[in-house]
Amino acid sequence: MARRIAGPTINWAAIAERVPEAQKPNFLAFKAKSDQYLRRMQANPETLPKFDWAYYKKNIPAAGLVDKFQKEFESLKIPYPEDKYTSAVEAQEKEVSVEIKKFVEESNQRIQNHEAELKKIRSLLPFEEMTLEDFADAYPDDALRPLDKPTFWPHTEDVEYTEEELKKLAEE
């Protein structure tokens, strides 16, 4: 038999915090339907009312009719569907919780790396106060180095020339 839930086990406030503004009306409609369903379920008794067979035996004149109905009613068994999915959901929850823990650890590591990078950036001179040498020291890969690596305007890789192309240009 299904178990009766005493009250809602859903933390609606925690879910509401994660719902985007555009989805709030859908969320509120879903919550209203869920609350309505819960109220309807709690309005009904947990078990069916018991028949007063003695009352029916006393008031129905046909002999044996109530006994026959009582015997058939008590032998009637309506199978409640077996729960095949809870164990699968719980196993999946355990797998996902391991993945979540791993993701949280990796995220915390990324946060630490980004905070260290932010600390490094904040310790640098502001760009307005930097000289070209300061910029080259801070960002050696991005700095303009005309002697080591000459470039031509507009200084993008797709416009860069190979040594052969440079020789050909010099001959012209």
Per-position pLDDT tens, the chain of length 172: 456 666 557 889 999 999 999 999 999 999 999 999 888 988 888 887 888 888 988 888 888 898 898 999 889 888 888 888 999 999 999 999 999 999 999 999 999 999 999 998 898 888 899 888 888 888 888 887 777 777 666 666 666 667 787 788 778 7
Residues 63 and 35 grouped into a single domain: no
pTM for the whole structure? 0.42
30 found inside a domain? yes
93 found inside a domain? no
Structure tokens at 68: 């026959």
Residues 39 and 62 grouped into a single domain: no
Predicted pLDDT of residue 142: 82
Residues 57 and 36 grouped into a single domain: no
* Structural domain boundaries, residue 144: 127-171
Measured between alpha carbons, how far is 5 from 102 in angstroms, rounded to an integer?
33
166 found inside a domain? yes
Please state the domain count of the chain: 3
Predicted pLDDT of residue 83: 86
Question: Token match 């240009």: residue?
Answer: 169
Beta carbons within 8 Å of 5's beta carbon, 6+ residues apart: 38, 41
Residues 165 and 142 grouped into a single domain: yes
Residues 63 and 32 grouped into a single domain: no
At residue 94, the 3 state secondary structure works out as helix
Helices (H) and strands (E) in the chain, counts: 7, 0
Amino acid identity of residue 24, one-letter, is K
Contact 80, 1 (CB under 8 A): yes
Residues 165 and 132 grouped into a single domain: yes
28 found inside a domain? yes
* Count of C-beta atoms within a 10 Å radius of residue 106: 10
Q: Where are the alpha helices (DSSP H) in the chain?
A: 12-18, 24-43, 53-59, 65-75, 86-123, 132-138, 163-171
CA 119 and chain centroid, separation: 31
Predicted pLDDT of residue 155: 64
Reference 126, options 141, 114, 138; nearest CA is 138
Radius of gyration of the chain (CA): 38
